[in-house]
Amino acid sequence: INKIAVLTSGGDAPGMNAAIRGVTRYAIYKGLSVEGIVRGYGGLLDEDIKPLDRRSVGEIIQRGGTFLRTARCLEFIEPEVQKKAAEFLRSRQIDALVVIGGDGSMKGAEALSRLGIPTVVIPGTIDGDMVGTEYTVGFDTAVNTVLDSVNKIRDTAYSHDRVAVIEVMGRHAGFIALYSGMASGAEIVLTPEHPVDFQAVCSHLLESHSMNKMSSIIVVAEGAATGTEVVDYIKEHTYLQANLTVLGYVQRGGSPSAYDSIMAGRFAQKAVDVLLEGKYNCVVGSVGRQVVATPYEEADKIRFVFDEGLYNLVHQLGR
Ligand code: ATP
């Protein structure tokens, strides 16, 4: 192969820029030329593409978001649209495509592979829930951002004897809630992996209160319940004062942590190496402590497993 293209797709995640930089510079180091596709799969349809050299990815490693922009391009599920994208890549003599994104973005990459375009996926999503890897770029930064926020909210919760409910991202997976809850010393974490028992939450809080614990932190993943539901239930069924903070996009932004930038670089190297070895149509990932590449059809067997032991430990230590 001589020329590759790179795009970012789905929700932005800190470390995506570090991954673009890694792909671009490592590919150039290996003698390839690189094009950047703007706004994910949308850019393949709008033919929005620009050459990338070493300098064009300078000063981005420390930046959150993605300088190539990203998009949710819903029409990309249509076979006709995918065909058009594949034809565009061929017309530009692009031999392979690196996609940085989550599960949905991987589906798009698989579709292009079936049309004869070699693809490789780098996991980039803050939620951590993706097949083919036990780690996704952006997760560590998001957890640290939540931790920082909870530490600040905790000051007020403690000073005013309040229950602080913090709603975090995670529609299908509670990894952000679990890890930020553990790190911030939350009393309760609510995640989609466990049915929410509002009554048990209240009993827990009242018991803590009777043991002179005057303030509590609850971290709730949006997929388990809304923060409003939790606060309203506590207010209705106890005498405790509860306040809600919805962190929202704060969690997606900011400079990547050291870990995310390092993983982005390692994943990028693997992605380019895999293409050069002709073992494409796979997702790069971290398994054990190794960076591996797994064919799309086998990726289902690998994922970040919800740590029940950690979940129990949060509640054992949180009181
Ligand atoms: P995140 O979960 O972090 O937002 P993601 O990659 O899972 O990342 P999605 O919005 O699910 O985000 O998908 C991103 C894009 O991938 C979609 O907008 C669409 O362009 C493409 N895509 C998603 N699903 C498919 C599919 N089944 N076939 C082809 N393309 C798809």
- Judge whether residue 13 has pLDDT over 90: yes
Active-site positions read 127
Dist. CA 97–CA 154, nearest whole Å: 45
Question: Which residue(s) pair with 220 in the sheet?
Answer: 167, 190
Contact 108, 121 (CB under 8 A): no
pLDDT at 319: 82
> Which atom of ligand 1 is closest in space to residue 102's alpha carbon?
6
Phi, psi for 310 (deg, rounded to 5): -70, -40
CA of 127, closest atom in ligand 1: 3
- Is the predicted ipTM greater than 0.95, yes or no? yes
Query: Mutual orientation of helices 258-276 and 16-29 as an angle, nearest 10°?
Result: 40
Per-residue model confidence as pLDDT tens digits over 147-202: 999 999 999 999 999 999 999 999 999 999 999 999 999 999 999 999 999 999 99
Which atom number of ligand 1 is nearest to the Cα of residue 72? 18
Query: Which residues sit with their C-beta closer than 6 Å to ligand 1?
Result: 9-11, 41, 72-74, 76-77, 101-105, 107-108, 111, 125
- Phi then psi for residue 278, to 5 deg, are 75, 20
* Protein residue closest via CA to atom 14 of ligand 1: 10
* CA 273/CA 176 separation, integer angstroms: 31
Q: How far apart are CA 288 and CA 285, in angstroms?
A: 10
Other Cβ atoms closer than 10 A to 43: 25
How far separated are the first and last CA of the chain, in Å rounded? 58
- 9 C-alpha vs ligand 1 centroid, how far in Å? 7
DSSP 138-161: THHHHHHHHHHHHHHHHHHHHHTT
Residue 170: its H or E element = none
- Ligand 1 centre from 45 Cα, in Å? 15
Task: Please state, in angstroms and as integers, the Cα–Cα distance from residue 60 to each residue in 28, 159, 210, 249, 252, following that order.
Answer: 17, 40, 51, 20, 16
Cβ-contact 88, 5 below 8 angstroms: no
How far is ligand 1, taken at its centre, from the CA of residue 316, in Å? 38
Phi first, then psi: give them for residue 114, nearest 5 degrees. -65, -25
The answer to whether residue 310 scores a pLDDT higher than 90 is yes
Which pLDDT score, from 0 to 100, does residue 11 have? 96
**Predicted pLDDT of residue 135:** 98
Q: Tell me: the pLDDT tens digits for 210-269? A: 999 999 999 999 999 999 999 999 999 999 999 999 999 999 999 999 999 999 999 999
Q: What would the pLDDT profile of 117-161 be if each residue is shown by its tens digit?
A: 999 999 999 999 999 999 999 999 999 999 999 999 999 999 999
Q: Under a CB-based contact definition with an 8 Å cutoff, are residues 238 and 187 in contact?
A: no
Cα–ligand 1 centroid distance for 62 (angstroms): 25
What pLDDT, on a 0 to 100 scale, did the predictor assign at position 51?
Answer: 98
